[in-house]
Chains A and B, each alone.
Chain A
């Protein structure tokens, strides 16, 4: 048999029909839904008198516009409340499992899928959210879809898909201390651009990826979409299995052993060919900070704000100029001298327990710079409880951080957590687009440790030689 990539193996397992010249019909094992991109899909079903084919394979949560302040108070934003009520009603009407605002399992959809053991190797997973690529860290094929496709999956449990190309991102070597998974993915995007992987599914390989925990692999896969990829994948291994064993929806006992045998097949065969290949050397990656309004506009923390004239094409020059105007930055400014107003530690990229632990280690015993307002928004209620059990909430609160309820929060600022015009934020989220965290707000993407150190100092620091006692 022809050697195949991990992607091809998962793809082939799910093709239920493939006519020549047409897209494949792909079976979907897990459909995650949330309040913002699903209401019109349910409406479409009703208008056409269609049912949800597999409510049992559909799981809902509320995350995008939920308040992260006191959950015991009613939701004050009427339109957000209506969207949440609509989701709850749709889940009742169609018999779908829902983790609502008050459920101990509630959280960001891409945080709860893995922590509940719903995300498993070899599954096809979709959600009306581009960061569905996160779940590929387990060797599943997971990608974001629009609302029309949400409706398609609800009605048929399938999707019509043209087969994407494959791209190997090989990360050799090991990461220096202070350099994290977030820096790897930001460095990749800075290197290949925000459309560098368009039309492809990325598989991440190499020593640096193998040595990553599941949380770190999720951070990398999460931002595959920021490189333009449909999905990112990592072949499952012992790290994957250790993470999954005992999770609520993961198979148990002998079933788990059988599943493991099957999942071990999910690796790229020797001699299999990717359509494209990129290599990174982990040992050469420095902590990253973005300076612009696109995730590819980033540099090492030791770098400076670039001169738009230094870019090769007219379009890039224009984009950089516009970005610097929006960001209120002057070319040549060292990244470490940019003063900050806000720090946000949260999002589906970086709000898992390990992320909070890493940030807490930096924060412990120190104080947030008085100029800075800093907040931590755990990715899920479970993450929040675990963090509290370890006393991480005290570390953050004592330092002067706010400690919030779980949700997407200021990653996209659909709730009350927003930047004001002109405010500058170090954020562990995934997008620095204009207005993403609030109209006129200025976002710099960084890792949780970089964000934590920035909160203490009031500006970015190179973690590799940071000595806060100086």
Chain B
């Protein structure tokens, strides 16, 4: 996983609440067996009409937000399906940061596994950011994970919170499977004591 330390990029505002992972990556694109190549399908049903033509009104299609790498959105982003294809699509499209008042749990967790930083900010601060983007006071943001600080270099600065361990793993791009594998001894001794009735052996007829 690519480490995340500090990132500066253009902000794309997506002023919708409860954006579910079916919108982020519709199911018809979940049939690939690779992790890559999902960016072209990001928000597919919102970006493209029934005939595959881009909707010029949709934020991700607007010239002024082209090349954006920071997504600003509303509460409960990433709700619904656990599909990790959602962060894969965001990352492949170029997003490294998502800012929202709240995130759904599984999506939030999936982001950290893929080098995307999801940032929770108070609703009021998110409102302010939406307004500043509207008035073009804010165009880009610098997100510093080391300092847990966001600023637009134009008068807006705020601190954010992230669980210390998640921050540590993201800063160092750690492979958490390798970390767990170091616990072999504890895993092994736990396994010795699993109740017999949790073993899955042969099926026995009903």
Contact = CB atoms under 8 A, between A and B. Distances in A.
Contact of A120 (B20, B35, B187, B198): B198
A348 B87 CA distance: 25
A97 B27 CA distance: 26
Interface in A422-468: 431, 433-436, 439-440
A146 B16 contact: no
24 contacts: A21-B165, A27-B194, A30-B200, A36-B83, A37-B84, A82-B33, A83-B33, A130-B82, A145-B109, A148-B113, A149-B109, A151-B177, A152-B180, A155-B181, A162-B163, A164-B105, A194-B76, A294-B79, A315-B74, A318-B17, A319-B17, A412-B27, A412-B81, A439-B45
B81 A130 contact: yes
Contact of B200 (A36, A249, A322): A249
A154 B102 CA distance: 30
Nearest to B164: A21
B16 A322 contact: yes
Nearest to A230: B105
Nearest to B74: A315
Contacts of A174: none
Interface stretch (A175-183, A234-242, A251-259, A339-347): A251-259
Contacts of A80: 31
- Looking at B50, B87, B102, B176, the one whose CB has the most chain A CB atoms below 10 A away is B176
Contacts of A27: 187, 190-191, 194
Given A151-B177, A248-B203, A251-B197, A421 B82 contact: no
Contacts, number: 197
B75 A315 contact: yes
A16 B203 contact: no
A148 B84 contact: yes
B63 interface: no
A59 B203 CA distance: 12
Given A29-B198, A228-B104, A414 B203 contact: no
A397 B203 CA distance: 33
Given A158-B187, A414-B27, A152 B177 contact: yes
A93 interface: no
Contacts of B154: none
B196 A255 contact: yes
Nearest to B165: A22
A296 B104 CA distance: 14
B195 interface: yes
B28 interface: yes
A120 B197 contact: yes
A162 B106 CA distance: 12
A57 interface: yes
Nearest to A296: B18
A262 B82 contact: no
B contacts with A: majority SS: loop
Given A194-B76, A316-B17, A128 B82 contact: yes
B84 A147 contact: yes
A contacts with B: majority SS: loop
Given A198-B105, A228-B105, A246 B200 contact: no
A19 to B, nearest CB: 9
Interface string B94-106: 0000000010111
A118 interface: yes
Interface string B26-38: 1110111111000
List the 5 closest pairs (A to B, CB-CB), nearest first.
Answer: A146-B84, A148-B113, A251-B197, A39-B33, A146-B110
A333 interface: no
Interface string B171-188: 000001101110100110
Interface size class on chain A is 35 or more
A194 B50 contact: no
- Looking at B18, B195, B204, the one whose CB has the most chain A CB atoms below 10 A away is B18
Contacts of B164: 21
Contacts of A40: 33-35, 84
Nearest to B15: A318
Interface of A: 16-17, 21-23, 25, 27, 29-30, 36-37, 39-40, 43, 48, 50, 53, 56-57, 59, 64-65, 79-80, 82-83, 86, 97, 116, 118, 120, 123, 128-130, 144-149, 151-152, 155-158, 160, 162, 164, 194-195, 198-199, 225, 228, 230, 246-249, 251-252, 255-256, 258-259, 262, 294, 296, 315-316, 318-319, 322, 412-414, 421, 431, 433-436, 439-440
A435 B204 CA distance: 42
A118 B198 CA distance: 8
Contacts of A120: 197-198
B80 interface: yes
Nearest to B109: A146
A128 B30 CA distance: 13
Contacts of A147: 35, 84
A315 B35 CA distance: 33
B47 to A, nearest CB: 13
B205 interface: yes
A249 B106 CA distance: 29
A120 B82 CA distance: 23
Given A158-B183, A195-B102, 10 more contacts: A17-B183, A23-B165, A27-B191, A56-B200, A130-B80, A130-B106, A146-B83, A195-B104, A246-B206, A435-B26
B192 to A, nearest CB: 11
